[in-house]
Amino acid sequence: QVQLVESGGGLVQAGGSLRLSCAASGSGFNIGVMGWYRQAPGKQRELVADITSGGSTNYAESVKGRFTISRDNAKNTVYLLMDSLKAEDTAVYYCHVEGRRWLGGNYQYWGQGTQVTVSS
């Protein structure tokens, strides 16, 4: 079982910054890709950014150049630094991890979500 604890959401003015963190805990698994998704009211959940265990990153076009994803493999933690925030970045942000269990089989887990609100 993998537990995910997210932190760092909140209210910020447009142009400001926030940093989200997501720590994974548990045993019996290897973590592969860690990422962040978001879901705005009335919209589908979408990928914001993800990062492999080797450090390769992938970003949604809408956040390229403004958001930076990183991870600390020793701490099983992924971060999302969000700069130059816009009102349209307002959403619930979800941490997502996937990988393989030592006893076999793939897994994926979602965090509980953290609200990010950008006021214009």
Q: Return per-residue pLDDT of the chain as tens, 120 residues.
A: 889 999 999 999 999 999 999 999 988 889 999 999 999 999 999 999 999 999 999 999 999 999 999 999 999 999 999 999 999 999 999 999 999 988 989 999 999 999 999 998
Give me the amino acid identity at 41.
Answer: P
Confidence (pLDDT) at 5: 95
Contact between 81 and 66 under an 8 Å Cβ cutoff? The reply is no
Q: Which residues contact 44 (CB under 8 A, 6 or more apart)?
A: none
Any idea what the Cα angle at residue 56 is, between residues 96 and 38, rounded to 5°? 30
Confidence (pLDDT) at 27: 86
Confidence (pLDDT) at 46: 98
Q: What is the spatial distance between Cα 5 and Cα 74, in angstroms, rounded to a whole number?
A: 16
Contact between 33 and 54 under an 8 Å Cβ cutoff? The reply is no
Chain centroid to Cα 84, Å, comes to: 17
Confidence (pLDDT) at 1: 82
Confidence (pLDDT) at 59: 98
Chain centroid to Cα 23, Å, comes to: 10
Confidence (pLDDT) at 81: 98
Q: Which residues contact 105 (CB under 8 A, 6 or more apart)?
A: none
